[in-house]
Copies of this chain bind each other. A is one copy, B any other.
Amino acid sequence: MINGLYSGSETFLEKARALYPDFYETEYYPLPESLPTDNELWHGKSFILDFGTHIVGYLTLSMQCDGDPGSPLEAVFEFAEDLCEYDPRPYTGGLSSTWIQRETVYMDDPNAPFVLPRRYAFRYVKVTFPANTNYSVKYRSCVVRGVTSADMSAVCPLPSGTGDFIRKIDEVGVRTLKNCMQSVFEDGPKRDRRLWLGDLYLQAKANYLTFKNTDLVKRCLYLFAGIPHDNGGLSSAIYQEPILKNQGWILHDYALFFAGTLKDLYEFEKDPEIVNELWPVALRQAEIAAEAVSENGLVNTAYYFVDWCGPLDKSVAAQGIAVTMLKDTLFLAGVAGDNDAEVFLKGQIKRLEEALLKLYDPDVGLFRGITGQISVQSQMWGALSGVLDSVKTRALLEKITTDKELCEVNTVTPYAKHYLTEALFRAGLTEQGAEIVRDYWGGMVRAGADCFWEVYVPSDPDLSPYGDKRINSYCHAWSCTASYFIRKYGLK
């Protein structure tokens, strides 16, 4: 490794470029019942078109002037994934308000179809004509050219006997993944439109059971491998535009998911070639995570995301992620035939497991963070790490699913909920896992979701990690795994 570049980094980027996907385009039209009936639109009047589903694409609007326009037409477009985005109160969020999908355009020819130049993610578009023109306009037509790199024809139908509600949840999950599949696996097509390793890990899992676009997974792995930080650590996210670059953030859990994603790819394709090729990258993430372990054997939680969750003591969850992913890395060492690394990884796993076990409270049969906190996040990652035997693991998970009050801190995001659900299914608690799919992901469907949301806490529907619900993403990659569970575990 020289200056942070793996031998072959340039080759990785070339391979990523060669795997740039084809796109599938679909035309979408607004629901007839949402078309405006007012034929004298001008002077602050507006209408909201409802496309009936969530779309990622490019909009063309055609209006018709009453009489001779003589002057340009001003039109304001406000795109919304969820109707809450039309709340007129001032934006108070911490993220840039420029993620709010709004455009003001001047149509020099008000009768000509106007093609908005940027891509939007939305179900609704509100069109307002603020100007006091000398003419009015009426609606003629609107069409959206939806874009995705996901091939819908590759998705197998659910088995007969699957109930309508599970079908509906799966449909929403598949749509979520589809709309996040563009030139990379994006986290959210409204915001940040970026390739995050934590999202990729889950998207790839859902992808193998739906679109089976392994090329896009490979492209994303090559992109991460092609532009590491100076120490060889992977960035948590990658910008494609305007120039390919990694984000400054360092998250060890995200970097370790590179191994998890590579292992899942191998298990799907059984092709050792890409494992051999990317093995040094995967190993380096384990080395970096190990270097940051303190004398007491615990990882440095400052480098772990785990969940959007203010009061969370991340010590157990971070430790559990490190153990789980180092085990995946060890699996890859076997495929790559790297015996030295196997010895190294086994030693590290042992050290991390010993420290993790110290955080298990045998009296209550649960993990406690170093602050003594009991959280869902600690239990699910403690369970997934495999550090306990299967009886204790199952008991732990049964406890927290039976007594919902047991944990001081619960998950906030569908991303974190994924790991809880996965832990339940792996422990054989199939009913409890299926219940989460029905209640939690199904709860979003019952609330009218066209795609799964970035943040969902049923008891706190206005929650936003950004201080304003309207900037939340309502089609978010890390929330797509309802379809993974439905298809992997045959939910009916």
A residues lining the B interface (CB < 8 Å): 68, 70-74, 91, 94-99, 103-104, 106, 108-109, 111-112, 118, 131-135, 191-192, 241-242, 247-248
Whether A68 and B248, one on each chain, are in contact in the complex, defined by CB atoms closer than 8 angstroms, is yes
Of the candidates B96, B111, B242, B247, the one whose C-beta lies within 8 Å of that of A133 is B96
Whether B118 and A98, one on each chain, are in contact in the complex, defined by CB atoms closer than 8 angstroms, is no
A121 to chain B, nearest CB (A): 14
Whether B112 and A98, one on each chain, are in contact in the complex, defined by CB atoms closer than 8 angstroms, is no
Task: Give A247's nearest chain B residue, CB to CB.
Answer: B68
Of the candidates B96, B109, B134, B248, the one whose C-beta lies within 8 Å of that of A95 is B134
A106 and B98 in contact, given A68-B247, A247-B68, A248-B68 (Cβ under 8 angstroms): yes
Most buried by B among A96, A118, A191: A96
Whether B118 and A106, one on each chain, are in contact in the complex, defined by CB atoms closer than 8 angstroms, is yes
Whether B72 and A96, one on each chain, are in contact in the complex, defined by CB atoms closer than 8 angstroms, is yes
Which chain B positions have C-beta within 8 A of A191?
Answer: 71
Which chain B positions have C-beta within 8 A of A111?
Answer: 242
Q: Which 4 A-B pairs have the closest CB atoms?
A: A71-B96, A109-B242, A104-B104, A96-B133
A57 to chain B, nearest CB (A): 16
Whether B118 and A99, one on each chain, are in contact in the complex, defined by CB atoms closer than 8 angstroms, is no
Whether B71 and A95, one on each chain, are in contact in the complex, defined by CB atoms closer than 8 angstroms, is yes
Assembled-state Cα–Cα distance A68/B56 (Å): 25
A81 to chain B, nearest CB (A): 17
Assembled-state Cα–Cα distance A108/B101 (Å): 12
A135 to chain B, nearest CB (A): 8
Assembled-state Cα–Cα distance A355/B68 (Å): 37
Which chain B positions have C-beta within 8 A of A241?
Answer: 108-109
Whether A131 and B71, one on each chain, are in contact in the complex, defined by CB atoms closer than 8 angstroms, is no
12 contacts between A and B (CB under 8 A): A68-B248, A72-B96, A73-B98, A91-B132, A96-B131, A97-B131, A97-B132, A97-B133, A98-B133, A103-B104, A108-B242, A109-B242
Which chain B positions have C-beta within 8 A of A98?
Answer: 71-74, 106, 131, 133
Which chain B positions have C-beta within 8 A of A96?
Answer: 70-72, 131-135
A74 to chain B, nearest CB (A): 5
Which chain B positions have C-beta within 8 A of A247?
Answer: 68, 70
Of the candidates B74, B118, B248, the one whose C-beta lies within 8 Å of that of A108 is B118
A244 to chain B, nearest CB (A): 12
With contacts A91-B132, A98-B131 known, what are 15 further pairs, Cβ within 8 A?
A68-B248, A70-B96, A70-B192, A70-B247, A71-B95, A71-B98, A71-B191, A74-B98, A94-B134, A95-B134, A96-B133, A106-B118, A108-B242, A109-B241, A112-B242
Which chain B positions have C-beta within 8 A of A71?
Answer: 95-96, 98-99, 191-192
Assembled-state Cα–Cα distance A379/B135 (Å): 38
Which chain B positions have C-beta within 8 A of A97?
Answer: 74, 131-133
Which chain B positions have C-beta within 8 A of A135?
Answer: 96
A467 to chain B, nearest CB (A): 11
Most buried by B among A73, A91, A106, A111: A106
A116 to chain B, nearest CB (A): 11
Assembled-state Cα–Cα distance A135/B191 (Å): 16
A158 to chain B, nearest CB (A): 38
A473 to chain B, nearest CB (A): 13
Task: Give A134's nearest chain B residue, CB to CB.
Answer: B96
Of the candidates B70, B106, B132, B134, the one whose C-beta lies within 8 Å of that of A103 is B106
Task: Give A104's nearest chain B residue, CB to CB.
Answer: B104
Which chain B positions have C-beta within 8 A of A112?
Answer: 242
Which chain B positions have C-beta within 8 A of A242?
Answer: 108-109, 111-112
Most buried by B among A74, A94, A98: A98
Which chain B positions have C-beta within 8 A of A103?
Answer: 104, 106
Which chain B positions have C-beta within 8 A of A99?
Answer: 71-72
A215 to chain B, nearest CB (A): 25
Assembled-state Cα–Cα distance A72/B96 (Å): 8
Which chain B positions have C-beta within 8 A of A106?
Answer: 98, 103, 118
Assembled-state Cα–Cα distance A94/B43 (Å): 13
Assembled-state Cα–Cα distance A241/B72 (Å): 11
A87 to chain B, nearest CB (A): 17
Assembled-state Cα–Cα distance A135/B94 (Å): 12
Assembled-state Cα–Cα distance A132/B135 (Å): 35
Assembled-state Cα–Cα distance A98/B73 (Å): 6
Which chain B positions have C-beta within 8 A of A134?
Answer: 94-96
A243 to chain B, nearest CB (A): 9
Assembled-state Cα–Cα distance A301/B53 (Å): 60
Assembled-state Cα–Cα distance A68/B131 (Å): 36
A99 to chain B, nearest CB (A): 6
A61 to chain B, nearest CB (A): 15
